[in-house]
Amino acid sequence: MSRYDLVTPQGTKDLLFEQCSVRRAVQQKMTKKFSDRGFHEVITPGIEFFDVFDTSSRYLPQEIMYKLVDNKGRLLVMRPDNTTPIARLAATRLKNEPMPLRLYYHQNVYRVSPSLKGRSDETIQMGVELIGSGSAKADLEIIGMAASCLREFSPDYRIEIGHSGFFKILSESLPADRRTKRDIQKAIESKNYAALNDLLDSLEASEASAALKQLPRLFGGEEVFPAAAALFHDDRAREILDSLEKLYHNLKALGLGENIMLDLGLANSHDYYTGVIFTGYLQGIGEPVLSGGRYDNLLIEFGADLPAIGFGLDVDSVSKFLMEKDPSGRSRPADMLVHANEGYCIQALGYLSRKIAENNVCEYSCFDSVEDAKSYCKEKGIRELHIVDETTTIMGL
Q: Tell me, yes or no, whether 108 lies in a domain.
A: yes
What backbone phi and psi angles, to 5 degrees, belong to 132?
110, 5
Burial label for 264, CB within 10 Å (0-12, 13-18, 19+), is: buried
Show Cβ contacts of residue 287 under 8 Å, excluding neighbours closer than 6 positions. 317
Using alpha carbons, list the distances in angstroms from residue 236 to 101, 161, 232, 364: 29, 18, 9, 69
2 domain-assigned: no
**pLDDT of res. 324:** 87
CB 260 within 8 A of CB 252: yes
* 117 is a domain residue: yes
pLDDT beyond 80 at 56: no
Residues 224 and 355 in one domain: no
What average pLDDT does this structure show over 20-39? 95
pLDDT value of residue 334: 94
pTM for this model (two decimals): 0.88
Give the pLDDT confidence score for residue 179 in this predicted structure. 81
pLDDT tens for each residue of 188-198: 877 888 888 88
For residues 267 and 376, the model is more confident at 376
Confidence of residue 328 (pLDDT cuts 50, 70, 90): low
Compute the average pLDDT of residues 319-336. Answer: 82
Tell me how far the alpha carbon of residue 347 is from its chain's centroid. 48
> Which residues in 294-318 are b (16+ Cβ under 10 Å) and which e?
bbbbbbebbebebbbbbbbbbbbbb
What Rg, from alpha-carbon coordinates, does the chain have? 27
The answer to whether residues 189 and 298 belong to one domain is no
Q: Are residues 42 and 138 in the same domain?
A: yes
Residue 92 lies in a domain: yes
pLDDT at 268: 63
Same domain? 117 vs 139: yes
Judge if 300 and 266 occupy the same domain. Answer: no
Indicate the number of domains in the chain: 3
Give the DSSP letter string of 24-37: HHHHHHHHHHHHHT
Going by pLDDT thresholds of 50, 70 and 90, the confidence category of residue 269 is: low
For strand 157-163 and strand 260-263, is the pairing parallel, antiparallel, or unpaired?
A: parallel
> For residues 358-391, b (16+ Cβ closer than 10 Å) or e, as one string?
eeeebbebeeeeeeebbebbeeeebebbbbbeee
- 13 and 143 housed in the same domain: yes
In a domain, 387, yes or no: yes
- Residues 224, 365 within the same domain: no
The enclosing H or E element of 281 equals: strand 276-282
pLDDT category of residue 115 using cuts at 50, 70 and 90: low
Tell me what percent of the residues of the chain surpass a pLDDT of 90: 66
Residue 1 domain-assigned (yes or no): no
Q: In this structure, is residue 4 part of a structural domain?
A: no
pLDDT tens per residue, range 165-184:
888 888 887 888 778 888 88
Q: For residue 118, which phi and psi values (nearest 5 degrees)?
A: 70, 20
Residues, the chain, total? 397
Same-domain pairing of 192 and 304: no
Quote the CA–CA distance of 37 and 41 in Å, as a whole number. Answer: 12
Neighbouring C-beta atoms of residue 178, cutoff 10 Å = 10
Which of 236, 254, 274 is the last residue in one of the domains? 274
> In this structure, are residues 112 and 11 in contact, taking their beta carbons and an 8 Å threshold?
yes
pLDDT, position 288? 93
The model's confidence at residue 58, banded by pLDDT at 50, 70 and 90, is: low
Amino acid at 317: S
Sheet containing strand 290-294, strands side by side? 40-41, 101-110, 122-131, 308-314, 290-294, 276-282, 157-163, 260-263, 219-220
| Residues 169 and 207 placed together within one structural domain of the fold | yes
CATH number of the domain that residue 230 is part of: 3.30.930.10
Q: Are residues 125 and 233 in the same domain?
A: no
Question: Above pLDDT 70, what percent of the chain?
Answer: 95
291 and 197 fall within a common domain? no
User: Do residues 288 and 170 both lie within one domain?
Assistant: no
Domain enclosing residue 360, as ranges: 336-396
Spell out the residues 6+ positions from residue 48 whose beta carbon is closer than 8 angstroms to its own.
Answer: 76, 77, 79, 85
